[in-house]
Amino acid sequence: MQRLTKNLAGDMYGGITAAIVALPLALAFGVQSGMGAIAGLYGAIALGFFAALFGGTNTQISGPTGPMAVVAAVVVAGQVAYLGSLEAAFGTIIATFVLAGIFQIILGISGVGQYIRYMPYPVISGFMSGIGLIIILMQIFPFFGLSSPKSIIDIVSSLGHIPSTFNAQAILLASATIAIIYLFPRVTRKIPSALVALVILTLIATVAQMQIPLIGDIPQGLPEIHLDTILGVDLYHPMIVLIPAITLASLGAIDSLLTSIVADNMTKTQHNSKKELIGQGIGNTVAGLIGGLPGAGATMRTVVNINAGGRTKLSGAIHGIVLLIVLLGAGEYAKLIPLPVLAGILITVGIGIIDYKGMRHLRNIPRIDAFIMVVVLLLTVFVDLLQAVAVGLVMSSLWFMKQMGDTIKAQSTGHSAGHTRHYHLTPEEKVLVEKLDDTVYIQRFEGPIFFGFTAQFKEIMRSLPEVKTVIFRMKFVPHIDQSGLYAIEDAVMELRKKKIGVYFSGLQKQPLDMMRNIRFIPDLIGEKYIYDDFHDLLTNLVKEHTASNPT
């Protein structure tokens, strides 16, 4: 407790400041999701408090985020379309949100959070830029004071209807919102510009009695727990809940852990990825139970918290409590907020998410990276977010495997013992090799023999010259996977059929254990053909060669 309160002033100021920044975003994301502004606020309160309390990043501020709101909107639209109305789909929707939180807890317990570091940059860049574009596209119609179609395809195809139906007052408010957000920080950064735009423009729209769409009635008081509603859901088609829940859980994990890395860099600390995902899962589970929007660690709000002095979990908890106080006292006024103002706020959020650095360097980075980035971006916008990431990871992995395979092949040298050039030999080994003739072939490998190298390995084996003995130098092979092991086994069997002797030297522990575990040694290759030291192997071969060729 003393540890939490030693920075009490900084944590209180950080939490309050983060809550002020979070309020307009929570309302905006709630509206965008289709669940209503109150769902965004419920999600910000529950996730903000519980993820801070149980999470593994001391300064993390959690709540609805752009990427999570986009996926939630897709989930809501899909299930409403399937069941006919938001009321009919409500139980299924919040069951999906709760299940997503449970999946995140499982991800945390299993420790998969550590693998976020292996996410290729082109995939992250394309995905985040795609999310930014989705947010902007989904706010085009609200910017003009119109109801937006639910899908991106419908939005793009309906753009031609805007000129004949737009609301000029809505355009004025949305434009003023964007202008204030970008210009007000030049006056002061102590007050969040989004909040300034929200308050001032809501007052202007109310006093001037502008004819523009509003948020509308917001429930007041503590939220209701919907456990009975969730338990009463008829899972007529489990996949309609499972797949979206997995998508939300995966995206929330990625979003949160990336923000944790940002927090680590700013505070010179190290987050606990397991605890962070467990905390995020608990927060999203509670948020779902009260009908709130799922979310994740929010980079901008976390940075605001840190810059304002937040250093412990108390700052995140205070952020949630402040939003709860707002919920209990501000509902009467929040219903007057114009939707075009929220559209302006979200457009700036979308603009901020786009990876301009990656886009700017498209012509300068390797073509395959640029191609992956663009493919992921397009799939994110027009197909599906999780599929976009999956395709990007597969493409990146395949390219990496090809590069690794080509590199290992280029570094793996082979030569007959009688050849005049001998690679990577000590002077003593060179003397011994020169006593052998071209019937002995030495093949040296560098790097792991894995599934990405098996094709090149087989090519090397096919190109072997006519010899009587083959030596596999394995000193620089730290790892062999199942594909690589079977490729070696097939090669040795083919060589044995041709009456060619096969020797191994320098096998490291993992490859040696693998070969013994499947009885490759000693059933196919006897222990006498396995040497720890290449020099000893050469010495014995020279003796045998001299004995068989006394002249």
Higher-scoring residue by pLDDT: 358, 322: 322
On the question of pLDDT at 350 being above 90, the answer is: no
Tokens of 503: 């020797």
Ordered domains of the chain (ranges, CATH): 2-358 (no CATH), 412-548 (3.30.750.24)
Q: What is the pLDDT of residues 500-509, one digit of tens each?
A: 888 998 898 9
Please state the length of the chain.
551
On the question of pLDDT at 318 being above 80, the answer is: yes
Instruction: Kindly state the average pLDDT of the residues 470-496.
Output: 85
Q: How far apart are CA 100 and CA 73, in angstroms?
A: 15
Instruction: Kindly state the average pLDDT of the residues 80-91.
Output: 87
Instruction: Kindly state the average pLDDT of the residues 347-376.
Output: 85
Q: What is the pLDDT of residues 95-148, one digit of tens each?
A: 999 999 999 999 999 887 667 656 777 888 888 888 889 889 988 999 999 888
- Residue 163, preceding bond cis, omega within 30 degrees? no
Higher-scoring residue by pLDDT: 234, 30: 30
Share of the chain above pLDDT 90, in %: 26
User: Distance of alpha carbon 375 from its chain centroid, rounded?
Assistant: 16
On the question of pLDDT at 420 being above 50, the answer is: no
Instruction: Kindly state the average pLDDT of the residues 142-169.
Output: 88
pLDDT at 180: 94
Round the average pLDDT of the chain to a whole number and report it.
84
**Which residues make beta-bridge pairs with 501?**
469
On the question of pLDDT at 418 being above 60, the answer is: no
pLDDT at 413: 53
Rg (CA), the chain: 31
| Contact of 213 with 338, CB cutoff 8 Å | yes
On the question of pLDDT at 412 being above 60, the answer is: no
| 138: CB partners within 8 A, 6+ apart | 32, 70, 73, 148, 152, 155, 346
Instruction: Kindly state the average pLDDT of the residues 204-228.
Output: 85
pLDDT at 290: 95
Q: How confident is the model at residue 421 (pLDDT cuts 50, 70, 90)?
A: very low
**Which residues make beta-bridge pairs with 469?**
440, 501
Q: How far apart are CA 248 and CA 295, in angstroms?
A: 9
Higher-scoring residue by pLDDT: 451, 525: 525
DSSP calls for 25-70: HHHHHHHHHTS-HHHHHHHHHHHHHHHHHH-S-TT--EE--HHHHH
Instruction: Kindly state the average pLDDT of the residues 429-447.
Output: 75
On the question of pLDDT at 79 being above 50, the answer is: yes
pLDDT at 316: 94
Q: How confident is the model at residue 544 (pLDDT cuts 50, 70, 90)?
A: confident
